[in-house]
Amino acid sequence: MQPWLFILVNMAVAAFVGGLTNHFAIKMLFHPRQAIYLLGKRIPFTPGLIPKRKSQIAESLGDVVASYLVTTEGLRELLEQEKFRQAAADKLNDKLTEIARMEPGLTLQAIGTKYWGEEGWTARKAEWSGTIRDYLHNGLDQVWTNRGWSSRTIAETVPGWSGETIINWSQMAENMIVNALREEILSPRGQRLLRQLASGMLDKAGGFLGALAGIFMDEDKMIERLTPILLEQLGGETVRTAIRGMIAKQLEAAGGWTLEQTVSRFAAGEEPLVWMKLKLDAVLRLEERFEQLEAYDISQWLLRNEDLWRKWVQTVLGASFNLLNRNMHTIIEAIELPSLVKQQVEKFPIERLEHIILSVSGKEFKAITWLGAVLGGLIGLFQSIFILWIM
């Protein structure tokens, strides 16, 4: 064989072997998918590297993501960036504006029935009302029983309760009562009441004195004389002191009442905690509130109050991001990011993973295949020259 042909054949064979070896090496990353057995024994290198080590890769990837990629510090830095906060606010503002303009007459009921159906929305309302009610009742139980508020006195509960406070409140109450009595006496209703009192006094006087009083003084004259006397007495220090002392005495006694005793005075024999829950339900009227809320036109409100809710969006998002920032470590621990990543990677199809890797690195893998062919050809060249030199 001619030397040049010998060299050419050796180079071609070596290049073919080198390229084919690298090609199979790349394919063996993903193939075969399952282990292949021959005569009951597993053939080496089956399954492929990635299918065989999928669990270990998933675990390592989860650790890498949790330790280096999605970290508490990184997420906190992201939430603190003004650019990120503004982008989130802009996205939400644009979405709300789009809803207001594209869906006129939008109500909470329409949204609820769209996602859950009419029966589902009715069930959701009842569920939410019950949840809120249970939450409030449980909170009341917690405060009233577990934290001992039922046995706390009014003096312990009301901030700043003291002798000086009682005096100040007594003076305020005294002024309110005296002023209210003054206005009532001078009002038409008060004058009618005084006229009735005067008529009753004349009727009860009877006899000669009653007749004499009726001759010289009628009801109107008595009212004209009685009104300034009453007003003068109300403005006098004696009456004011008596009213103030009575109020102070009642407040001082009330300071020693426990909250349970205080509520019992209004509960009319009913258990205080049960009475408070009933009053709370009567004040909140959750079902009625939900009915009012679900009929409200959200679109019109959004269009009319755009400047207002845009400020609210900024404020609410800022508060939400701050809350997330403060609790980021707890949140990351709660979601168990390494375990979550591992589960998702293990569920990810090998075929899809192969497609992604080849679509990203296909050119590099081809270059590796050709590099194997080139190196094989060079090895064949040197080998041929070496053999010819020896021969």
Per-residue pLDDT of 161-178, as tens digits, reads 888 888 888 888 888 888
Say yes or no: 317 and 188 in one domain.
no
Range 301-306 average pLDDT: 82
Say yes or no: 200 and 224 in one domain.
yes
Chain position carrying tokens 């006694």: 253
Into how many domains does the chain fold? 3
Six-digit token string for 152? 């706390």
Say yes or no: 190 and 249 in one domain.
yes
Instruction: Judge whether 196 lies within some domain.
Output: yes
pTM assigned to the model? 0.49
Task: Report pLDDT for 134.
Answer: 92
Q: How far apart are CA 205 and CA 214, in angstroms?
A: 10
Instruction: Judge whether 133 lies within some domain.
Output: yes
Q: What percent of the chain has pLDDT over 70?
A: 93
Task: Report pLDDT for 136.
Answer: 92
Say yes or no: 174 and 153 in one domain.
no
Instruction: Judge whether 15 lies within some domain.
Output: no
Instruction: Judge whether 74 lies within some domain.
Output: yes
> Would you say residue 386 has pLDDT above 80?
yes
Where are the alpha helices (H) located in the chain, listed in sequence order?
3-27, 49-52, 54-64, 72-80, 82-102, 108-141, 154-157, 163-186, 188-205, 207-216, 219-235, 237-254, 259-267, 272-284, 286-294, 298-304, 306-326, 328-335, 337-347, 350-390
Output 111-117 pairs: Cβ under 8 A, ≥24 positions apart: 112/294
Phi, psi of 41, rounded to the nearest 5 degrees: -115, 140
Say yes or no: 145 and 167 in one domain.
no
Residue of higher predicted confidence among 359 and 141: 141
Say yes or no: 153 and 116 in one domain.
yes
pLDDT, tens digit, 9 for 90 and up, residues 177-229: 888 888 888 888 877 777 777 666 655 554 444 444 454 455 666 677 777 88
Q: How far apart are CA 134 and CA 377, in angstroms?
A: 80
Say yes or no: 247 and 185 in one domain.
yes
Task: Residue 171: give the domain boundaries.
Answer: 162-254
Say yes or no: 178 and 150 in one domain.
no
Residue 108 and residue 364 in contact, taking contact as beta carbons nearer than 8 Å:
no
